[in-house]
Amino acid sequence: MIKNMDKHTVKSGKEILDDFFSNIEEIEGVDDTIANRLTELYTQGKLTDKNVVNELQKIRQQNGNEN
C-alpha cells in the first residue's frame, strides 16, 4: 500500500540545516556577507550564539558602523 515512500521521508535535523545553509544566500533580503559568515561558522561546527554575535560585530566594524 505504501507507494512513493521517498516522497514522505523525514529529514534529519542535520539534513535540514545543511539544506538551509547551502541555500541561505538565495533567501531574499539576506545580506551576502552575513550569509557567508553564518555558513562558515556552521560548516566549521562553530555556530554558537557567542560566535554569531562576534562575527556580526566584526561585520559592523568593517562597514564603519560600531553600533
| Residues 22-53: tens digit of each pLDDT | 999 999 999 999 999 999 999 999 999 999 99
pLDDT confidence of residue 8: 76
pLDDT confidence of residue 5: 54
* Distant-in-sequence, close-in-space partners of 44: CB < 8 Å, separation ≥ 6: none
pLDDT confidence of residue 55: 96
- The residue with greater pLDDT, 6 or 56, is 56
Give the Cα separation of 47 and 44 in Å (integer): 8
Rounded mean pLDDT of the chain? 89
Q: Is the pLDDT of residue 1 over 90?
A: no
Give the Cα separation of 53 and 48 in Å (integer): 9
* Distant-in-sequence, close-in-space partners of 25: CB < 8 Å, separation ≥ 6: 32, 35, 36, 39
